[in-house]
Amino acid sequence: MAHQTSGPRRLGLLALSLAATAMLAACGNGSDDRPEPVTKDDLVDVLPSAKGGVDVVKWNLPAEPDTLDPANTVTYASGTVVRSLCDTLLTRDPDLALKPNLASYEVVSPTEIVYTIRDDVKFWDGTPLTAEDVAWSLNRMRSSDFVLSFAFINVKSIDVTGPDQVTVSFSEPDELFLNSGPALGVMEKKYSEAHADAIGTPDGGLMCSGPFELESWSPGSSIKLSRNPDYWNAERKPLAETVAFSFVGDATALTQALNAGEIDGAYEIPASAVPALSKSSVGRITFGRSMQGLNLNVARPDGPMSDNDVRQALQRGIDRGALADVIYNGAAEPTYTYVTPTTWPEGQRDAYQKAYDAFVAERKYDVEAAKKLVAKSGYDGETIVLALTAGDDTESRSAQLIQEQAAAIGLTVKLKPLQPLVYDQAGYDAAKRKELGLDLMLSSNFNGAPDPLEPMGFTSLPGQPYNYTDFDDAEATALLTEARQTFDDDQRAEMVIKAQQIIEEDSAVIPLLSTYTTTFLNDRLTGAITSFAYWSMPAMAFIGAAK
Amino acid sequence: MTTVLGACGTIVASSFVIFLALSNAPGDPVAGLLGAKSTDAARAAKRAELGLDDPLLVRYWHWLTDALHGDFGTSVVFRQDVAGLIGPRLETTLLLVALASVLMLAAGISLGVAGGVSRRWRSLVSAAVGLGISVPAFVAAGFLTSVFAVSLGWFPTFGAGVGLLDRIHHLALPAVALSIGYGAYIAQLTSAAVHEESGKEHVETSRGRGISERRILRAHILTNAALPVMTASGLAIAGLVTGAVVVEEAFAIDGIGSLLVKSISSKDYSVVLAVSLVIVTVFVVMTTIIDIAQAFLDPRQRGAVR
């Protein structure tokens, strides 16, 4: 589910798990020497394995989680904590293959999946996990009260159909549902019902089966996890006795705390802190692959951006490389289609690459070509209003650079910073976009699964929430719909690439960057997953002693 | 009695103004709660559940009657009791403000007295005052952290600590950063008041009578200068509570200041109201105390406050 967000603050969508990663397998770089300064040429997706246990890992979250309820886990912060607490139905391995976790699965028909639940899993309180707990957890998530309910859109029913069996039936085949398995956290029914109103809050806590137990949540200061000594999964046995999460949001304060060794590590380091932390003497900064992206979305069907020549002019007129180097300090790379290359399914990369190369050539930075497109268009000097989230330094500098480059090709862009809630509302409300007079929205998004259908569906099918331009192409719709019902990977890729051709031609989204996951880790520790896969795995379990 | 009623009236009126301002600010709180993927129906249901579609006055009335029963509602973002959210953070902020007040008064008054009585010290004090007033708290915070926390390692760089001693250790640098601006203001004011008093006729007369400088200072100058200094100090302490917002952000201390900032941006009504009222209450209480203290110190005003 591709997700438009107002910036890293709110991740939105789910991560059906992560992908990224064949790279995890390529793990690498076992040298003990002090690392060279990072560059975009050496993406690292997991650090060398830990040599042993540690008492405590002090980890920072970009903000205090608003909830630890697995059904509402959609921010960087809550995801990082919850994945280490609550086991998910399925998981992904470094090679990206979907793997059984609490359950194995069988697609018995295009509209029916049967999950078989493990018999050796116990919740933290010692109660064994049952099919009833799984069915109850999934049914609870379907309620529109929860943010993850969108994953269940084609689900007809979820029932216990045997002592260790849960069957999910669909109203129409849905290839994407299986992919959401790595996001579906399972809780104990009895405990959760007894604490119904307080699940995932500092008062109500949680009862799950993950590698760590929730020890305490002191609102405002910290969340502490302690090791689950009886964890069932030998491959993910935690190395740290305790994990203490802090919530430092200020980039300067975070840099200082990391440099002073008071915090051991953090994901999603702000781009502005990268230069200072790259020179740190106590730890290292690492860039990892991620399915996150930065785009310009055309915000409405009319206005100056309705002219395809103007859209194409922006495709050619923005120096994506400069954006990556100057604003993101190397923590990003240019991207030329809405679906970032890290979102391609591993088995079909060659086919996708071939289609992608054509777009790279066609959209390469070329001021003269862009000027010609503007001249040929119907653009008459109108102001193009570009919305962005107020208060995000990296986004605001990106927008300024885009404004300058648009001016160089003859387009007048006005920046309109919006408060986060206003921006979020504009994200799903066409009337709000019109009222504010928005022509473009600078948005970050991320894809939860290595499945291009996820992002493309939301922007390009008629009636979908992010289809801001009312794009409606019968052929593309037919291709995407059929692809979602197709379980053969090669066939599906073929349909998706064909649909992509049609959709990209329309340029309703101008892709800019694929942004990396930026991680800092103190030299006393290692083992961390440093790709965006961290968000879909119990990432804290892998961190341990470096020596 | 009138004072107490007036104070309560001020607090209730403030709550209504805040409620009104918050309702009219742009942005839909449900946008932050359900995420961008939610359906229109789910958002409508959530709005109804939270009572966001009720008329403003109805919503305010509900809030007010609950608040009078001591129920400040539930945070829609944290899904948690507002009192539970504010309690631990308020302790942190109050300790920070208390430390900063002590620093502000100790440094401000002693510098001010020194500058007021000694010609030699005067220029030095006014230079320090100029510097103190012109350095914003967040700049001071960055400087203090990089010198005393990162380079020298004497203090922690962030957080509020656990247990009283650890807390004081954690809050020392933030308290310094917070007290600089108002401390300079107090020093300036004290210096001017002391200077003025020491030039007065009765002081000169006492000098002429050969009374010791120390005694003059204590008996005449300081007693008379105390009134304006006290008034300014009370307001400065109330000002520290609002100043704490900036310093708490810079040192990543989760006090009520940073909670307020976060809650405003997510339109978490009940939290914004409760925190704002805490701040308004501090102001009201401080001004009331100043009134009473003035009456106590100044016989002419005795009887003005009941």
Contact map slice: B 189-248 vs A, CB within 8 A: none
How close is the nearest chain B Cα to the Cα of A242, in Å? 17
Winning range, highest mean pLDDT, from A176-180, A191-195, B124-128, B270-274: A191-195
Q: Output the six-digit token pair for A366.
A: 């070329």
ipTM for the assembly: 0.73
Is the alpha carbon torsion for B243, B245, B246, B248 positive or negative?
positive
- Tell me how far the alpha carbon of residue B245 is from its chain's centroid: 9
| Bridge partners for A418 per DSSP | A389
Q: Is B108 helix (H, G, I), strand (E, B) or coil?
A: helix
Token pair 């709550």: residue? B15
Calpha distance A329→A272 (Å, rounded): 8
Choose among A150, A220, A252: nearest Cβ to B37. Answer: A150
Q: Label the pairing between strands A112-117 and A103-109.
A: antiparallel
Which residue type is seen at A176?
L
Task: Tell me which of A84-93, A350-359, A466-475, B220-229 is least confident.
Answer: B220-229
B84 touches chain A (CB under 8 A): yes
Q: Do A246 and B252 touch (CB under 8 A)?
A: yes
Residue B103 predicted with pLDDT over 90: yes
Q: Do A254 and B39 touch (CB under 8 A)?
A: no
**What mean pLDDT is predicted for residues A453-467?**
83
Assign a CATH topology to domain A291-512.
Dipeptide-binding Protein; domain 3 (3.10.105)
User: Among B157, B170, B173, B265, which would you mutate to test the A interface (most chain A Cβ atoms within 10 Å of its Cβ)?
Assistant: B157
* A279-303 tens-digit pLDDT: 899 999 999 888 889 999 999 999 9
Contact between residue B185 and residue A290 where contact means Cβ atoms under 8 Å apart? no
pLDDT of residue A97: 67
pLDDT of residue A492: 92
Choose among B35, B88, B266: nearest Cβ to A219. Answer: B88
Contact map slice: B 44-63 vs A, CB within 8 A: 45-46
Considering only CA atoms, which of B273, B266, B18, B263 is closest in space to residue A421? B266
Choose among B34, B150, B255: nearest Cβ to A147. Answer: B34
**Residue boundaries of the structural domains of chain A:** 291-512
Contact between residue A497 and residue A351 where contact means Cβ atoms under 8 Å apart? yes
Calpha distance B78→B273 (Å, rounded): 15
pLDDT of residue A25: 30
Q: Do B37 and A5 touch (CB under 8 A)?
A: no
For all residues of chain A together, what is the average pLDDT? Answer: 87
pLDDT band for B299, please (50, 70, 90 cuts): low
Residue B298 predicted with pLDDT over 80: no
* A420-445 tens-digit pLDDT: 888 888 888 888 899 999 999 999 88
Residue A1 predicted with pLDDT over 80: no
Query: Distance from first CA to last CA of chain A, Å, rounded?
Result: 40
Is the alpha carbon torsion for B215, B219, B221, B222 positive or negative?
positive
Calpha distance A210→A70 (Å, rounded): 12
Q: Do A421 and B265 touch (CB under 8 A)?
A: yes
DSSP string, A55-121: EEEEEE-SS--S---GGG--SHHHHHHHTTTS-BSEEE-TT--EEESSEEEEEEETTEEEEEE-SS-
CB-defined contacts A:B, below 8 A: 146
Considering only CA atoms, which of A122, A128, A136, A138 is closest in space to residue A90? A138
Q: Output the six-digit token pair for A282.
A: 């106590």
Tell me the chain B residues in contact with residue A247 when contact means C-beta distances shorter than 8 Å.
Answer: 252, 254
**What mean pLDDT is predicted for residues A447-471?**
84
DSSP string, A355-379: HHHHHHHHT---HHHHHHHHHHS--
Calpha distance B36→B34 (Å, rounded): 7
Q: Which residue of B has its CA nearest to A1?
A: B37
Q: Do A147 and B251 touch (CB under 8 A)?
A: no
Residue A20 predicted with pLDDT over 60: no
Calpha distance A93→A116 (Å, rounded): 19
pLDDT of residue B300: 65
Residue A471 predicted with pLDDT over 60: yes
- Element spanning B98, H or E: helix B82-117
Determine what percent of chain A is predicted with pLDDT higher than 70. Answer: 91
Could you give phi then psi for residue A523, rounded to 5 degrees? Answer: -65, -15
Choose among A64, A248, A256: nearest Cβ to B150. Answer: A256
Contact between residue B117 and residue B100 where contact means Cβ atoms under 8 Å apart? no
Q: Which residues, 6+ apart, have CB-to-CB distance to B96 below 8 Å?
A: B171, B174, B175, B178, B244, B247, B248, B253, B255
Residue B249 predicted with pLDDT over 60: yes
Calpha distance A534→A546 (Å, rounded): 19
Tell me the chain A residues in contact with residue B80 when contact means C-beta distances shorter than 8 Å.
Answer: 198, 201-203, 219
